């Protein structure tokens, strides 16, 4: 009878048998007791709080970091998204230090990072678009150019741009891509392959002394599109000189001038710009064009290096045309990842 009474009490919401706390609960209780009994939680961790404030300041004011010394500003902007990794590190240190001040301070860089890059964490792709474009730096030292060409052709792109073409390998790419693309043009070390007719093909002078940029008119079913293909000079990080990018910056300005003078309404830029959309040195281009990845992509879309992508230096940008979706293609034998996008060609009527 005693046992029956006990069961009835439990079933009706009585106290029942006492449950032992789990190991996690005991750990949380121990930490809570330690924090409640510690009057120094507000005075500790001031250095961590200062680091959190400095991290926030760097992310908010990155455009004001001077480039006069080693192009430090451009270097920070190239890897700006990765500064978010310091947030969980500071959070962990604040917990270990048992500092309420540091914990509150860590909220600031977390909010700043989410404000800058939180939009890239959501999938903004749409089903529309009437022209699929792709670009790939194939790497001059590519050990398998035929395989690389077949891989990018399999993406279904209507228009394909290739950069860093070695002259001796151009016939290999032409042969591998011929079954998919009826039209193509190669200017210097860049090339354009298209399922639709090409016209007005010409080199674009980006002040290098050799040809690494081109322009062509693609007559797509939805209308004419000016397609630019560019491979801006590489940048280097040197201990004695910092982030050396003077030639890249000069070429970016020249490319921006050419695009600004383009008479066609729909413009697409495909290529390896050796810089990210955050890099102020590319303002001549980025100020007048939209990045497909930032507008309609999913994730950061890092494209380099292929073995462990850390930055999106390969870009698909549009002017006039509307981006609908953007994505990264599977790795090839190159040190870059190919990228693709679908765009909607606009008409004067809308």
User: Which pLDDT does position 164 carry in this prediction?
Assistant: 97
Please tell me what DSSP assigns to residue 21.
Answer: P
Nearest to 303 by CA among 136, 159, 155, 144: 136
- Coil, strand, or helix at residue 186? strand
Task: Map out the domains of the chain as residue ranges.
Answer: 11-121, 131-344
Q: Which residues share a beta bridge with 193?
A: 160, 184
Cis peptide bond N-terminal to 202, omega within 30: no
What are the pLDDT tens digits along the chain (350 aa)?
A: 444 444 444 444 555 556 677 766 765 565 566 555 566 788 889 999 999 999 999 999 999 998 877 778 888 999 999 999 999 999 999 999 889 899 999 999 999 999 999 988 888 777 788 999 999 999 999 999 999 999 999 999 999 999 999 999 999 999 999 999 999 999 999 999 999 999 999 999 999 889 999 999 999 999 999 999 999 998 766 544 445 678 899 999 999 999 999 999 999 999 999 999 999 999 999 999 999 988 788 789 999 999 999 999 999 999 999 999 999 999 999 999 999 999 999 876 54
CA 241 to chain centre: 26
User: Which pLDDT does position 209 carry in this prediction?
Assistant: 86
User: Which pLDDT does position 183 carry in this prediction?
Assistant: 98
- State pTM to two decimals: 0.84
User: Which pLDDT does position 93 carry in this prediction?
Assistant: 95
User: Which pLDDT does position 235 carry in this prediction?
Assistant: 79
The angle subtended at Cα 254 by Cα 198 and Cα 300, nearest 5°, is 80
DSSP string, 194-241: ESS-EEEEEE---SSSS--EEEEEEEETTEEEEEEEEEPPP-EEETTT
CB–CB of 78/276 below 8 Å? yes
User: Which pLDDT does position 115 carry in this prediction?
Assistant: 95
d(CA 132, CA 325): 9
CATH class of 131-344: alpha beta
């Amino acid at each position: 009878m005693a046992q029956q009474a006990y069961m009835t009490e439990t079933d009706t919401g009585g106290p029942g048998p006492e449950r032992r706390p789990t190991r996690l609960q005991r750990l949380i209780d121990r930490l809570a007791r330690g924090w409640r009994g510690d009057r120094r939680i507000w005075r500790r961790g001031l250095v961590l709080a200062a680091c959190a404030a400095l991290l926030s300041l760097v992310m908010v004011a990155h455009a004001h970091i001077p480039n006069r010394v080693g192009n430090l500003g451009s270097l920070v902007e190239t890897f700006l998204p990765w500064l978010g990794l310091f947030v969980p590190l500071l959070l962990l240190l604040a917990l270990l230090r048992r500092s309420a001040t540091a914990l509150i301070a860590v909220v600031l860089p977390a909010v700043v990072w989410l404000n800058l890059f939180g939009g890239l964490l959501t999938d903004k792709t749409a089903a529309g678009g009437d022209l699929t474009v792709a670009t790939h730096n194939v790497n001059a030292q590519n050990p398998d150019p035929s395989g690389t060409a077949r891989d990018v052709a399999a993406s279904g792109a209507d228009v394909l741009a290739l950069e860093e073409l070695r002259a001796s390998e151009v016939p290999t790419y032409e042969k591998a891509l011929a079954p998919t693309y009826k039209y193509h043009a190669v200017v210097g070390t860049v090339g354009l392959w298209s399922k639709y007719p090409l016209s007005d093909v010409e080199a674009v002078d980006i002040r290098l002394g050799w040809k690494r940029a081109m322009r062509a008119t693609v007559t797509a079913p939805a209308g004419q599109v000016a397609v630019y293909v560019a491979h801006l000079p590489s940048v280097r990080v040197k201990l004695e000189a910092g982030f050396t990018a003077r030639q890249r910056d000069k070429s970016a300005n020249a490319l921006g001038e050419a695009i600004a003078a383009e008479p066609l309404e729909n413009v697409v830029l495909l290529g390896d710009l050796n810089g990210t959309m955050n890099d102020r040195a590319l303002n001549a281009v980025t100020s007048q064009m939209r990045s497909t990845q930032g507008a309609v992509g999913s994730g950061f879309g890092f494209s380099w290096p292929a073995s462990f992508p850390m930055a999106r230096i390969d870009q698909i940008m549009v002017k006039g045309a509307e981006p609908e979706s953007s994505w990264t293609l599977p790795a090839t034998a190159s040190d870059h990842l190919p990228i693709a996008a679908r765009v909607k060609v606009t008409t004067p009527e809308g």
